[in-house]
Amino acid sequence: MDVTGTSKSCNEIDAQALAVAVFKDEKPTSGLLQHLDTATGGMIADAIDSEEFNGKQGDTAYFHVSSEELKARRILLIGCGDRDSYKAAQISQMGGTATRFLRGKSVKTIAIVPRSEMDAERVAQTAAAGAVMGLFEIDKYRTKEKEKREIKSTTIVIEGADKKAVQRGADRGRIIGESTNFTRDLANEPGAWMTPTIMADRAKQVAKQFGLSCDILDQKQMEKLGMGSLLSVARGSDEPPKLIVLKYEPSKFRKSKGDLLALVGKGITFDSGGISLKPGENMELMKYDMTGAATVIGTMRAIAQLKPSIPVLGVAPCSENLPSGKATKPGDVLRAMTGKTIEVINTDAEGRLVLADAIAYAKKLGATKIIDMATLTGAVSVALGDVNTAILGTDQELIDGVISAGKEVGEKFWQLPLDEEYTKQIKSDIADIRNIGGKKAGTITAAAFLKEFAEETPWAHLDIAGTAWGDPPTPYRSKGPTGIAVRTLVEFIERSAQAN
């Protein structure tokens, strides 16, 4: 889909449909809404007066018009709730609702009017990203009842704004939206069609297309590096593990500064639980257990195009976790790349095992700050549901930066504690640490495990298990992978570049 930005007035926009933000209890007594009401012969006022439409979040009203005052022949009103609460999340959702609704009406060209008084470039970026993300579907492998309708072009309209700023925002939003959808597509792939090898191939394609450096470590290389923790997870599968390393480096960056942010993402392309087998119900969803790695690759895809002025490293340890005669068993002791020994209590706590060596390797490659992300614990869904992503870490400035970036783009993060007392729960009788800490504070003790490998490097951990998959669908988003954290990480990286 082509995405453009304009500062023209709505009556000049050559599109089949206008999608317009409307606020709770707003009346068409002035400005754009009054103009559109006149064009519809008073139908908008009638819909509002009859309470058929009142501007609440998610409300929609659709009109066919024939007026010389408008080139568009359809108008979609999208309720955005209270004006005072109209921020990034609502603007993004408004954009997604517009594209999903109008595609369902077989509209080919649309104009989205977000009607926000915030910075025009930022509004255009947010609306464009939401519009692109709204078009993602999980029906890739259907042969019938597949969504084949397409929107060819979307224009983001911010009347009277700087035209170049609006276009910059629209361009950036398209890149971020497409990269988020790329992450969602990876996460939606069946495990048989998204093995570690295939995932590595997809990363290579991204690197080649957008100018990233790419290195793929195979099993022998990992063995040479002493990555016994990561390799223990792969032992039960016939599919070989891969460690994906992507790097973005701006041409003008001064290497003497020595700053290097690493993004590390869990890439378990299918998780049966291993010997500690999961229940069969809903196990098919464990194809999405590589969403952390997909988020890393999608974020690197975006920043390669946006070109911030700082380097970024992306590390994605990929493996299957399956039971077999070769699989790691509960009670086994592993030796990680750092030399630390790990007692395996539960083989279904495998994500932290692959991340441990990946974090250590990121440090070996020179990372001075690390953000890892993973569908790591079921406990996080109990604690925070599907609303907030858990964030923990050792560097408060880094944690605060991620939370702030999330607020800017409309993604929510909630910090959980990581006191030293939690580390006592992962103390092993026969090794340095064990891979689970019991029933209490499962999300926190998982982070405490990872902390052992981040050591003194500033580090933050995102547990996305509760927010990486959305069900049921919403007016602005399909059921399935959400692409959580891609927008936040891009925002964080760009802020870091500006502060550098």
Query: Given a cut of 80, is residue 258 above it in pLDDT?
Result: no
Give the model's pLDDT for residue 208: 98
Percent of the chain residues topping a pLDDT of 70: 99
pLDDT in tens, 335-362: 999 999 999 999 999 999 999 999 999 9
Query: Given a cut of 90, is residue 189 above it in pLDDT?
Result: yes
Query: Given a cut of 50, is residue 256 above it in pLDDT?
Result: no
Give the model's pLDDT for residue 118: 94
Query: Given a cut of 80, is residue 253 above it in pLDDT?
Result: no
pLDDT in tens, 279-292: 999 999 999 999 99
> 458 is written with which tokens?
């500033």
- What is the mean pLDDT of the segment spanning 451-462? 98
Contact at 8 Å (CB) between 323 and 275? yes
Q: Which of 352, 434, 451, 477 is catalytic?
A: 352
**Residue burial 467-493, b: 16+ Cβ < 10 Å; e: rest:** bbbbeeeebbbbebbbbbbbbbbbbbb
Q: Answer yes or no: 369 catalytic.
A: no
Contact at 8 Å (CB) between 354 and 229? yes
Query: Given a cut of 50, is residue 444 above it in pLDDT?
Result: yes
pLDDT in tens, 305-323: 999 999 999 999 999 999 9
Q: Tell me, what DSSP letter sits at residue 474? A: B
Query: Given a cut of 90, is residue 254 above it in pLDDT?
Result: no
pLDDT in tens, 374-416: 999 999 999 999 999 999 999 999 999 999 999 999 999 999 9
In whole numbers, what is the pLDDT of the chain averaged over residues? 96
- What is the mean pLDDT of the segment spanning 152-172? 98
Phi, psi of 345 (to 5 degrees): -95, -35
Domain locations along the chain: 2-160, 182-499
CATH code of domain 2-160:
3.40.220.10
Superfamily of the domain at 182-499: Zn peptidases (3.40.630.10)
Give the model's pLDDT for residue 251: 85
- Distance between CA atoms of residues 87 and 123, nearest Å: 9
Query: Given a cut of 60, is residue 429 above it in pLDDT?
Result: yes
Contact at 8 Å (CB) between 79 and 25? no
pTM above threshold 0.85:
yes
pLDDT in tens, 123-135: 999 999 999 999 9
Query: Given a cut of 80, is residue 458 above it in pLDDT?
Result: yes
The candidate with the shortest Cα–Cα distance to 123, out of 97, 161, 80, is 161
Q: Answer yes or no: 247 catalytic.
A: no
Give the model's pLDDT for residue 481: 98
pLDDT in tens, 374-384: 999 999 999 99
Give the model's pLDDT for residue 28: 94
Q: Which of 8, 71, 278, 307 is catalytic?
A: 278
